[in-house]
Amino acid sequence: MKSSLSTSMTVVNVAPGLPCSSIRSGNIMAILNLLLLLCLFPINEATAEKPNVLLLLVDDLGIGDVGCFGNNTIRTPNIDRLAREGVKLTQHVAAASLCSPSRSAFLTGRYPIRTGMTGHNNGYRVLMWNAVSGGIPTNETTFAQILKEQGYSTAIMGKWHLGVNCESRNDFCHHPLNHGFDYFYGTPFTLVNDCEVSRPSELHVAFKRTLWFYAQIFAITLLTLGAANLWHVINVPWKIIFAFTLFGTVFFMYWYAAYAFQIYWNCIWMENFEIVEQPMDLEKKAGQLVREAKSFINRNKDGPFLLFVSFLHVHTPHYTTKNMIGRSKHDLYGDNVEEVDWMIGEILDAIDEEGLVNDTLTYFTSDHGGYLEGMTGSPHLKGSNGIYRGGKGMGGLEGGIRVPGILRWPSVIPANTAIDKPTSLMDIFPTVTKLGGGVLPQDRIIDGKDLIPLVQGLIPDSEHKFMFHYCDEYLHAVRWQQTTSDTIWKVHYFSPKFSPGEGACYWSKLCPCSGDNVIYHSPPLLFNLSNDPSENNPLPSDLPLYNEVLQTIEQAVAHHNSTLYPVPQQLYGINNLWNPRLQPCCGTFPLCWCNKNKTN
């Protein structure tokens, strides 16, 4: 059953098997529309089966870089096609503005603060190496685990960035195959500049220079101590000098080994548990991902299947295959966006060719906002977050968390419509769990909400009354959907200090979440996002309305805080330091290099 619905009226398609409790008694119009549809159209028996699930997650894509979300200079015809054939979510937000926390929330349906996947301002904010003990906790439940239990074939291809090992080089406690996926073809880390030899990370180059500088100071100090001792200028026991020498040598060798061989330690490609490229060949990755995705769809066309394509694009260094370079008006960044759109088109074509369109729920989004500080050499080498302020790493600002969102399921979801209500990446967890016949975990709080009643028009408002926006472990902002006035309010407690005259923190490459480089708002800033989505005009704090809204939000914050409890911190301290014992290696460590990839 495929509907062609105009956006001028509310018409509902419903999937057989959805609980009648999803329909609120107060929504009389929705019920009438539903009854009308059931009378006019016969129910397609295929929709009674468990749908296939295709998840398309782009890395660092700004909402302003997509045609159907307002861009008119970068070509995204395949993403735009999804929007025409489905529902566009215009207030779709990530649970975090950085990779690892956002992706953990996506898979578990839970705020990162609940799972220990928040960053730390005095340390690292995402997983920094493959060889760390931190990662998605083993006691968390992913939607892949639930669907696998319901008979789904499950696969993830592309980026993981949620850890590999816990205690040994091959325990794979954080690996995708131990979190519900039957098949993994991708990198356990992420795409970083070091993976492209000609363009190493500026941060790592700077760190190595700093390390070399301090190593010289250490050597001069050591020689001075030894000479002074020999000439009896001072009397330092030789045991202390030896211990000092040993400690310094180990310290500098450790950091040199960690940073000098980044391309071997982090730029690896795996098929299931096996490393097939170390380092990986970036030139072949776009084609390999497309071919593997098509192959999986073909192998599992009798369904049901869950395919999660987690693109390496459009993360820096914006690596683009040669045949796509120079096609856009925005240098390498635009080329990268247009290439990922091509990849999406190829995967959608495979769904079409197998006749699976009406049997597949397709979801498209980005893990967070576009990266503004990433590559400063040209204004065209960074993402666009459209009208929204801020970007990647700025947990409270809309530009860091507002992302494109599209759902397509022609047999169930109306086409060419838009939902202007708060939704979240976390909503995919309960949505696909229920559609796949699974049951939500009852022993923990699930923060995501089932999207199907909202996108079908069975309920008038999002089930997200409040949404909490963290920057690392700090609560920077809260939004409230005030249904009585159809208004979205947002309060800010903290904001980053931008570079003078700029809209980002170019001096640090990533805005901090606390400390001297954060503005503490007292009283908090309050914005009416419905009228001021760019967050330019805060409501005056002396208005009665300000106090009424703030009081309501603070009550919600107090309740939210009461639901939090201490959990092991995955991204703090030693859990996020490079550990040679945990380094994935396709040879005998440290001789880690190979190319066994069968897909060329």
Task: Show the tokens assigned to 523.
Answer: 């009283």
Q: Is 511 among the catalytic positions?
A: no
- The one catalytic residue among 20, 39, 92, 99: 99
Contact 446, 110 (CB under 8 A): yes
Determine how many CB atoms are found less than 10 A away from the CB of residue 555: 11
CA distances (Å), 567 to each of 51, 570, 574, in order?
35, 9, 16
Contact 132, 585 (CB under 8 A): no
Give the distance, in angstroms, between the CA of residue 158 and the centroid of all CA atoms in the same chain: 13
- Show contacts of 330-338: CB within 8 Å, 24+ apart: 330/73, 330/74, 330/380, 330/381, 331/378, 331/380, 331/381, 332/381, 333/375, 333/380, 333/381, 333/382, 333/383, 334/73, 334/74, 334/380, 337/61, 337/65, 337/74, 337/76, 337/313, 338/74, 338/75, 338/76
CA distances (Å), 512 to each of 124, 318, 517, 573, in order?
11, 24, 7, 17
Give the distance, in angstroms, between the CA of residue 316 and the centroid of all CA atoms in the same chain: 15
Sort 417 into a burial class: Cβ within 10 Å, 0-12 / 13-18 / 19+: middle
Q: Is 560 among the catalytic positions?
A: no
Contact 315, 103 (CB under 8 A): no
Cα–Cα–Cα angle for 402, 406, 408, nearest 5°? 165
Task: Show the tokens assigned to 413.
Answer: 């979801």
Distance CA 277, CA 294 (A): 21
- The one catalytic residue among 20, 92, 120, 161: 161
Task: Show the tokens assigned to 94.
Answer: 């990530």
Give the residue numbers marked as catalytic. 99, 161
